[in-house]
Structures are given as structure tokens and as C-alpha cells.
Amino acid sequence: MRVPAGQPPLPPGDRVIRDGTLTRVTRDTPEAGGERPVERLTYFTDAVTAIALTLLALELPVPHGDTESQLWHSFGAEWADSYLPFLLSFVVIAAFWWAHHELYARISYLGPGLASINALFLLMIVMLPYATRVLSEVGRHQVAVVLYATVLGVLGFTMSAMGRLVLRRGWLRDPDTDAPRVRSSSIRMLGTGVVFLVSIPVAFWSPTAARYIWFVLILGSLFSGAATRRRRV
């Protein structure tokens, strides 16, 4: 990108960013230790996500019984209420982590507002183990389904908001190559958030029906991702 007329040559690490009609110079140099702000935020997000995944497993119930038959029966009895929500949450966190990784690998500058949205994203990530526990213990009631759907709905919106902000401010490393992928991911994350929030009013009619909507969404995302990968190959 060209430097505006009259602007002295930019030192290494400086860039010109178009912000509406305003042209300004910003610095994205490594901090102490050789890490850029984007990398530091990415590492922190990875650590928080790993802790959330670990907390999911810590909440799993242990089968009880005195005989093999009783233990297997206890394990099967907990499947729908405890183990299935755990698997759902694990897949969801992994999917959002990967979307976050794909986005931040393409970002060249940690601009204003991006860290704040990322903080909201992390808040929902650390809330998900709690929402999963509530879903496991009182999942047949409206409050559990509404809480879980709200957390995942906000997760979808925050991921979409980060992608749209990066596109609007021009903070991508290679706009020509990265913009279409970031735009597609942003739309997909927005759709995910909408589906989960739409399931909230459904939960007031039938919590079970709302949960089926989630699984249809997960299966659809898996098939969509597989089809996208095949097209890229």
C-alpha cells in the first residue's frame, strides 16, 4: 500500500491502513521476546480453550455399581444426559477454536476493538463447561437449553464479528487470498449463532426439539466442511 504524499518513509514494521476516509500509520512490531500482539493473543486463547476442554472431562460422572452389569447399566443411563452433551460441547469448542485459529493466522495487525471482542469470545468459551454441566443435570428443562443455546449463539456472533471487523479495517496479511475465506467463515459463524438463538424460543415449547436442532446443525457443519475441503483439493 502506498504512503500518502508528504508522509516520511515508514520504518520497518509500520503500515498504512485505510479506515474509511482516514489514512493513518500504525506500528505492528514484535514485543519483548520477539512475539507480536496477534501471536500473544492467539497463544492466550489457545491456553484458555485447552483449559475449557479439560474442564469438560472433569465434570463427567463415574459409573456406579457392585457388578459388571450394574456398572454398564449406570454407564448407559448417563449416556444421553451426561456423555452426549460432553461430546457435543467438545466438538463445538474444537470447531470454534479451529475457526479462531484460521482467522488469526491471516491477521497482520491487532487493531482497536479486536481484543475486546476476543475477550467476549473467551468468556463464552469458559462458560461452556458450566452450561454443559447444567445441560447434563437439568437438560430436560427450559433453563438448561436456553443457557446452552445462548452461550453458543454468542460464540457464533463473536467469531463472525471478529471476521467482519478484520475485513472492514483491512487487517489481513494477504487480502486478495484471505478475504474470501474469512468472509465465508464469518457468514458461517453468523449462521451458527442464529440457529442456536432460534432454538431458544423452540426450547420454551419443547427442550428436546431444541436439542435436535443443535445436532442437525452439527451434522450439517461437518458435511459442509468435508465438501469444502474436497472442493479445495
CATH number at residue 146: 1.20.1410
> How much is the pLDDT for 222?
54
Number of domains within the chain: 1
Which amino acid would we find at residue 55?
L
5 occurs within a structural domain: no
Which amino acid would we find at residue 161?
A
> How much is the pLDDT for 176?
85
Cell of 116: 475486546
3 occurs within a structural domain: no
| Domain interval for residue 217 | 14-232
8 occurs within a structural domain: no
Tell me the C-alpha distance between 43 and 49, whole Å.
Answer: 10
Taking CA atoms, 153 is separated from 13, 22, 150, 195, in Å, by: 37, 34, 5, 7
Instruction: Specify the 3-state DSSP secondary structure of 206.
Output: coil
4 occurs within a structural domain: no
DSSP strands (E only) in the chain: 14-19, 22-27
218 occurs within a structural domain: yes
Which amino acid would we find at residue 146?
V
**Ramachandran angles phi, psi of 24, nearest 5°:** -140, 160
Tell me the C-alpha distance between 217 and 227, whole Å.
Answer: 15
7 occurs within a structural domain: no
Taking CA atoms, 95 is separated from 64, 146, 164, 190, in Å, by: 32, 21, 19, 14
DSSP element (H, E) containing 199: helix 175-205
> How much is the pLDDT for 127?
95
Tell me the C-alpha distance between 121 and 181, whole Å.
Answer: 20
pLDDT per residue, tens digit, the chain (233 aa), is 444 454 444 443 444 444 444 334 344 444 444 457 888 899 999 999 999 999 888 877 777 777 888 778 777 777 777 788 888 889 889 999 999 999 999 998 888 899 999 999 999 999 999 999 998 888 778 888 899 999 999 999 999 999 999 999 888 888 888 899 999 999 989 988 888 888 888 888 887 777 777 777 666 655 555 444 455 44
6 occurs within a structural domain: no
Tell me the C-alpha distance between 110 and 45, whole Å.
Answer: 14
2 occurs within a structural domain: no
> How much is the pLDDT for 10?
41
| Residue 9 near residue 3 (C-beta atoms within 8 A) | yes
